[in-house]
Amino acid sequence: MILPHMLFSSLATLPHFNDFFPTALLEQFWQTLEKRGDPALEGHPMKTRNWKKFTIPLFVHGDGVQYANNNSLMVWSWGALMTCFNSLQSKFLISCWPKSATTEETWNDLLKEVCWSFSALLNGLHPSHDSDGAPLKKGSRFFANKGKPLANGDKGVIWAVMGGAEFFALVLGLPHWASKRPCHERGASSSTANQGKYFKNLEMDTEAFTRVTHAQALAHPCSSNPLFNAIPGLSTKFVRGDALHICFVHGVYSHLLGSVLHYICWFNPGRQKKTGAVSSGVGSLAKGWTAQPG
């Protein structure tokens, strides 16, 4: 495991720290959120003296990646929401574990240490207590740095928890997309009898969705995941779908690209003739055309 607050502190000694974490843009970022009235800012523990100058918004990302036949790794990573580098250069590994070797308690134990590290990052100080809340013992690994600044006053706050629907449901413990109430934010229902909350019929005049506020999500977490119970100020309102899953993994762009490829392949000038028939399963693009053998 690579603890975020330790890596953050090490990167602070490098000349490219301000490229990984562009501190020059911080005040503008937070001022923009203030003008928009972002409810997550109200009473947030990051708001100490000069917090706008030193608090870096971060993301946490989780996803499964293949590493062996019929097996995959569950990978957690993190980085800055604003950075001058691409994702391969600015996305940092936290921990990974084979899904085939995972039990119900595996990630709870690992995330306890992760949340402890992100809490230290939120404070901008090396911790003085361990992940169980006990004071660090003299001579232990983190004792020498306890209470010292991580990076000359800079600190980091998780402002987005990203991943796909599988990660949200099976890892974060949010409602499953196939359940009767799949949405953790608006009380949507899969039942047609639940008028106004049936998510497949968005009728504005009968809409009765109940929006969960950030304050409500903090007070009553709908997930037992340590991420939403051990890091001050972090609620399920920070959960965000990432662009890869929304656009490409069974998303809108994958359907678009598939349609374009189908169009190119089907309407090859040397491979079809017009017949006036509609080929079954092809769709409206192929109306009046049939492919020729060869």
More confident residue, 294 or 127: 127
Q: Does the pLDDT of residue 274 top 80, yes or no?
A: no
254-270: average pLDDT: 77
Q: How far apart are CA 294 and CA 280, in angstroms?
A: 20
Q: What is the chain's alpha carbon radius of gyration, rounded to the nearest angstrom?
A: 24
Residue 65's SS3 state is strand
Of the candidate ranges 143-152, 200-209, 278-287, the one whose mean pLDDT is the lowest? 278-287
Task: Look up tokens 């340590």; give the residue.
Answer: 226
Q: Does the pLDDT of residue 237 top 80, yes or no?
A: yes
> What does the mean pLDDT of the chain come to?
84
Neighbours of 6 (CB within 10 A): 18
Q: How far apart are CA 70 and CA 161, in angstroms?
A: 27
**pLDDT at residue 270, as a whole number:** 57
Bridge partners for 189 per DSSP: 198
pLDDT, tens digit (0-9, with 9 covering 90-100), for 52-65: 999 999 999 998 88
Task: Look up tokens 């678009």; give the residue.
Answer: 256
Q: Taking the model in full, what pTM does it have?
A: 0.80
Sign for the CA dihedral angle at 273, 279, 281, 286 comes to positive
